[in-house]
Structure 1
Amino acid sequence: MSEVTQAVPAAELFTPEFRLDPYPTYARLRENAPVCRVRTPRFETWMVTRYADARAVLSDPRLSKDIDRAGDLYLQVFGEKSVALNRNMLNADPPEHSRLRRLVSQAFTPRRIDALAPRVQQVVDDLLDPIVPAGRAELISEFALPLPMNVICELLGVPVEDREQFFSGTQVIRTQGTAGRSNEEDRAAIQEAQQNLYAYLTKLVGNKRDRPGDDLISALIAARDGGGKLSEEELVSTAFLLLFAGHQTTADFIGNAVTALLTNPDQLDLVTRNPDLLPGAIEELLRFNGSVPVASFRLATEDVEYSGVRIPKGSIVTVVLNAANHDPAHFTDPDGLHVDRTDNPHMAFGYGVHYCLGVSLARMEARTALGTLLRRLPNLALDVAPENLRWLPAASSFRGLLELPVRFGDA
């Protein structure tokens, strides 16, 4: 058993080159330091990059997700104003996590998701209608961001006239590190945006309690578990989790997926000529360049060991999902995109008890968005050199593009 005592500084890891393509760095860590201590711009963590270790961490009960258990460490990382907004099933351990997940699952039903499919198709077509004649587009702002925002707001029951307020708040959080602010200014701006969203969602929950509708928030209010129900704080925090997770991750994935296909033209041609490959292609695109590169942090409640490295009690542990999904010990040609890959147990949606609850919605949106894009935008191509694409900052919790300029039309 060993312990890495010298932390890898952020300046060596979160570089412009890393932002453009983090996978060579992940490969070096997997090979030489699969469990290593890393100093990020915000906090110090133990980074886990191998697939087998990742699965072990994500199912290890000795690693806690409880924000109360993290105590001052959580406040140091995220700030006091973020606590109320993050008191949801993502940041809870069993049995509390189990209770919250059961209640939310009652509202987040396959029937509700299936019923949303025609509306998703309509939103996709409405967004593409003005794009198609133009021959050029910036797909992030014109398509990838507004699609899931409209879908998740419709699912939650957010009035159309309020959605711009939602979008503005989530964009402040999504684009942290890109506005030229200092770390402290950035953190203050994010906390202000979170507080504004919390205030709005608190009001929305109150309105839905008085006048329930056929929407997810109304269903969450009505959900019961052996006489128990979600508290007011849990309702608001869960609505925020569904809003942000359902919007941010899908938007970034659409941009990542289109980019991956356009920079692998043989795979683009294969899936375009064989639309039946699309469901499997989406799984491969999730593995290849997922929009959630790292799992949300866990806290070691006792000393733990992975790959012969001891992680001390009280440490933050971060699983690098995108590194695990490129592990050659588990995937053949992991750095290659193969839309016809069949054996693909990727971890883009996590693993264990915290496996993403919204996978059905995410997959349905991805199928609809990518299938329609490939059909309606013939000869789709990047309108900028791949090395000039602008990605979210390397220290972001998300992997996605700030812009995606494309061209298309008749050959």
Structure 2
Amino acid sequence: MTDLATGPVFTDDYWREPFAVLGEVREQAPVREVELPEGGTTWLVTRYADARSVMADPRFVKDFRNSLPEEQRANVPGLPAPAGLMMLLNDPPVHTRLRKLVVKAFTVRRVAALRPRIETIAAALLEGMPGDAAVDLVADYAVPLPMAVICELLGVPVDDRDAFGAWSKTMIDEGPDEGKQQASASLAAYLGELVERKRAEPDDALISALIEVSEEGDALSTDEIVAMGMILLIAGHETTATLITTAVEAMLRDPALRDRLAASESDALRAAIEEFLRWGSPIAHAPLRFAAEDVDFDGVVIPRGALVTVSLAAANHDPARFERPDDYEELRDTTGHLAFGHGLHFCLGASLARLEAEVALRTLLDRFPAFVAGSDVPLERRRSVLVNAWARLPVVLDPDAVDGSA
């Protein structure tokens, strides 16, 4: 392994063993500047205490203009809409206003009401899979389930869901900027048209609810609703799909864990999911921030204006916070894990991701409690700095059926 105090971090070693590489970075240089795979550099923060501090510190801003001297800000344009209107890329008071309005539509009650529909989607997906041959649980279950849920939540027609998934994957995975820009533009254009259709013909879906919400005469614009739809699509289905496959991969390596969870009650499964969130850290690195002034970390100074990336994966495996952090322990006290971030930008869809994972895993374990690995070939991770995801996950759902047909 290279010198991780000064050398490159996102190498083939990282894609094979991200937690091991990040652990070395945390030990050798817990706050350091690193090269990104697609060019440019960012300051990577890897210790739990530092990560939590950065996400709650107003000196680290989301809108890069807020890192500039005040007299320069008015003359520097922000990101173009709709991307520039995403809550994730804004600071108070803009972020405060957007979140206050969105929360009125994206309620706990609306999320909880999705459970029966999520159960139906999960059952239908499994119903169509062969039990006696290897299936790719990523492509056939973990991705289409949250994709269908997000699309139903937003009111996206069934025929358009494959395009949604393709745009999201292009925007997140390592690849040329031109492709990412085209995918983002296509997604934004589609959502803009969808919002206008919902204005003309409202329904019970979230986009119509976002159109309707207001606060003292203030309402969300079309571009602001499009920005929210983009965030829900990308963050919503990617996080959940990765969480599901992280859990299944852990059970493939530990059949006793699979058996315990198959026999577990709901509370035990929900607790296990919290440990999967910590241990697997579906969002490996929180989206970029900017230092609004020089900030000192034990003698290492992040300079004003620098890009800053919080490594949620490294923080969640910090032995200073969690004992034996690289071990999966479903009875662990996971209080304070950072899988959904911390502070103002704590994930708005956390409750939905937890619900989808619970239903997906319960449905899978109830129908196929003895599933096993479908290949001896080592698994490969997606080359994405943002998500910590498997590219494929071959699984034989019913090994007894395979034996019976031999």
Deviation at 1:191, TM superposition (A): 0.7
Quick one: distance in 2 between partners of 1:111 and 1:305? 43
Give the corresponding residue for 1:120.
118
Q: Normalised by the size of structure 1, how large is the TM-score?
A: 0.89
TM-score (norm 2): 0.90
Structure 2 counterpart of 1:183 = none
Which residue in 1 is equivalent to 2:387?
Answer: 398
Whole-Å Cα distance in 1 between the matches of residues 52 and 167 of structure 2? 33
Q: Which residue in the other structure is 1:331 paired with?
A: 322
Contact 1:156 1:217 survives alignment (8 Å): yes
Instruction: Report the CA distance between 1:266 and its aligned residue.
Output: 3.3
Instruction: Specify which of 187, 192, 210 is matched with residue 220 of structure 1.
Output: 210
Shift of 1:271: 2.0
Q: Distance in 2 between matches of 1:18 and 1:162?
A: 34
Residue 34 (structure 1) aligned with residue 30 (structure 2): yes
Equivalents in 2 of 1:135, 1:342: separation in Å?
A: 37
* Structure 1 residue aligned with 2:259: 269
User: Which 10-residue stretch deviates more, 258-267 or 118-127?
Assistant: 258-267
Q: Does 1:46 align with 2:46?
A: no
Q: Any idea what the Cα deviations from partners look like across 1:55-97, whole Å, max 9, x if unmatched?
A: 10000001111154469xxxxxxxx987533421111101111
- What is the one-letter code of the residue matched to 1:13? V
Q: 1:67 to 1:377 in 2, by over 3 A?
A: farther
- Aligned pairs (5 A) from 1:203-242: 203-242=193-232
1:354 aligns with 2:345: yes
Structure 1 unaligned blocks of 5 or more = 1-5, 72-79, 178-185
> CA contact under 8 A between 1:8 and 1:39: conserved in structure 2?
no
Partner Cα distance (1:171, 1:343) in 2: 29
Residue range with higher mean Cα deviation, 25-34 or 188-197: 25-34
For 1:294, the equivalent position in structure 2 comes to 285
Measured in 1, the distance between the counterparts of 2:5 and 2:90 equals 28
Residues 178-257 of structure 1 mapped to structure 2, 5 A cutoff: 186-257=176-247
User: Where does residue 106 of structure 1 map in the other structure?
Assistant: 104
Aligned equivalent of 1:408: 397
**Equivalents in 1 of 2:9, 2:190: separation in Å?**
37
How far off its partner does 1:310 sit?
A: 1.1
**Residue 347 and residue 336 in structure 1: after superposition, are their counterparts in 2 closer, same or farther (change >3 A)?**
same
Residue 345 of structure 1 and its aligned partner are, at CA, apart by 1.9
Q: 1:175 to 1:313 in 2, by over 3 A?
A: closer
The 5-angstrom pairing of residues 63-78 of structure 1 reads 63-69=60-66
Contact (CA 8 Å) 1:7, 1:38: kept in 2 or not? no
Which has the larger displacement, 342-351 or 203-212? Answer: 342-351
Deviations 1:29-77 (A, max 9, x none): 2222111111112221111111000110000001111154469xxxxxx
Structure 2 Cα separation of the partners of residues 174 and 312 of structure 1: 27
Return structure 1 stretches of 4+ with deviation > 4 angstroms: 80-83
Cα offset, 1:316, TM superposition? 0.8
Stretch of structure 1 that moved more, 266-275 or 376-385 = 266-275
Q: Which residue of 1 aligns with 2:86?
A: 88
- 1:182 paired residue number: none
- When the two chains are superposed, the root-mean-square deviation of aligned CA atoms in Å is 2.0
The 8 Å contact of residues 13 and 21 in structure 2, kept in 1 or not, is answered as no
